[in-house]
Chain A
């Protein structure tokens, strides 16, 4: 039994989300449902609201209107402690991996469970990580293909490897949902496909809802079964990739 209660079997449900920053609307009534084990790519031009939507889903940004439910639990009206608990169950992979560069890889992965322990628990684990957890970290890194780098300094790894470390950290959380904001923006095209396939595979193995924002439409079409096109803070289309024709994508990016 993990830390996050997945008994409801529900995925991620966002309904009619709106966000406005001092008058300007960043999101206007966006709804998105992602079932457990389903993978979705968010595409759209810059400023379409992809990052804002992901931030709302990750509780980093409060919606002005609308609701988000994760595993049957509503994000609204959470106290500080409750919010921390919810966040501990949201796995996020950032664009520039957002790892602590001068820690060892294992320490960065272990930080995935910071939300579960109190301050002294965290301190104890930093000094002497439990053996069982180290084995888990090794298994994860093994799955992601970088087990031999386990005790290397994180910044000595290449960009693509660091992104794998970031994925390992998110998975070590044993989260309820996996979100990724432009996870392959700083990786070359061949490695980008590789990384996205890996992300999809691990999300599917664990039956996690996966939401990934991508500015590269070709990548989204190649790697994801379902795409959500966004423009000016609203969803333009939300369909299986095969059903969306090229014209729809071109229209999405039209100036």
Chain B
């Protein structure tokens, strides 16, 4: 090894390099938070394991295996002579209708959510709500108050699950699609508002500062440059939440809104597992379609 080029660099032949390295390692700056996280995570996992009462002993009992076999071979298999006939019958009975209803609910919900979020986002953003937006950090007490209130409102909207919101709205608005639409719209407005506000905070500062330097007001900065700068991100979040909305619209059907989920619950009540599997398959196809749509949209956005 004495001929290895790196050793020819040994500038201090007298000093002990190994001791130096050890000393440097002992003196290394440490991140207390990382160590705290590691230790507390270990403690939490141990505690959960000890107290949760998890048991793996009956995971693979003979009875469960039997159940699984029966489900695949009998319950979930098409209960008709011809598979195409079975599928087309289910499709025309409630498949097509459920699919369209699910799509309609999610599209309406996400558009409403986006419009509300567009109003909320600037109000939650520190850079917008400062005394001199994008230029100075400090804020006026009134502006800070508005920001905190709007932020809390967004958090509250996010904190209530769609399912619970829809449950509440069902009691107020009665049966129909609106409880589901509004529940999804409110919840997602909270999420998009928060994400939008953060996007604005992370915008490139220099062009925004230059706009401010031209004498633009808050609103005109946002309308002229802010929206253009933030649009690609906004679109990403919009389509991401749209996908979630499609999925959630299906689930909300189980509350009585006539989406795919309603017919899935209905089939379960009638013990028709083959219908259930068909409808679940449809909902998966719908989510895949939404995903494809958002992929195309995002690709287009990247070119903007």
Contact = CB atoms under 8 A, between A and B. Distances in A.
Interface stretch (B15-23, B41-49, B96-104, B291-299): B15-23
A191 to B, nearest CB: 21
A60 interface: no
B29 A142 contact: no
A153 B1 CA distance: 30
Interface stretch (A8-16, A143-151, A216-224, A246-254): A143-151
Interface range on chain B (Cβ under 8 Å from partner): 20 to 34
Interface stretch (A25-33, A65-73, A130-138, A226-234): A130-138
A152 B10 CA distance: 21
Contacts of B20: 138, 147
Contacts of A245: none
A206 interface: yes
Interface string B200-239: 0000000000000000000000000000000000000000
Contacts of A131: 18
A188 interface: no
A140 interface: yes
Interface string B1-29: 10111111111100001101100110111
B29 A135 contact: no
23 contacts: A2-B4, A2-B5, A104-B28, A134-B21, A135-B17, A136-B4, A138-B20, A138-B21, A139-B6, A139-B11, A139-B17, A140-B9, A142-B10, A142-B11, A142-B12, A147-B24, A151-B24, A151-B28, A152-B28, A171-B6, A174-B5, A174-B6, A205-B8
A139 B24 contact: no
A230 B28 CA distance: 45
Contacts of B8: 205-206
Interface residues of A, number: 25
Contacts of B3: 1
Contacts of A136: 4, 6-7
A2 B18 CA distance: 22
Contact of B17 (A138, A143, A153, A171): A138
Given A205-B9, A206-B5, A156 B29 contact: yes
A139 to B, nearest CB: 5
Nearest to A172: B6
A139 B29 contact: no
Contacts of B10: 139, 142
Contacts of A156: 29
Contacts of B27: 151
Chain B binding surface SS class: helix
Contacts, number: 56
B153 to A, nearest CB: 35
Given A140-B6, A152-B29, A135 B11 contact: no
A152 B27 CA distance: 9
A139 B28 contact: no
Contacts of B29: 151-153, 156
Nearest to B10: A139
Contacts of B5: 2, 174, 205-206
Contacts of A2: 4-5
A165 to B, nearest CB: 15
A150 B12 CA distance: 16
Contacts of B12: 142
Nearest to B6: A136
Contacts of B4: 2, 136, 174
Contacts of A150: 21, 24-25
Given A148-B24, A151-B25, A152-B28, A139 B9 contact: yes
Contacts of B1: 132
Given A142-B12, A174-B6, 13 more contacts: A1-B3, A135-B17, A136-B4, A136-B7, A138-B24, A139-B11, A140-B9, A142-B11, A143-B9, A150-B24, A151-B25, A152-B28, A156-B29
Nearest to B31: A153
B12 to A, nearest CB: 7
Contacts of A171: 6
B88 to A, nearest CB: 49
Interface string A166-177: 000001101000
Contacts of A104: 28
Contacts of B11: 139, 142-143
A109 to B, nearest CB: 11
A142 B17 CA distance: 10
A142 B10 CA distance: 8
B9 A135 contact: no
Query: Lowest 10 CB-CB distances: which A-B pairs, in order?
Result: A151-B28, A143-B9, A136-B6, A139-B9, A206-B5, A150-B24, A138-B21, A135-B17, A139-B10, A151-B24
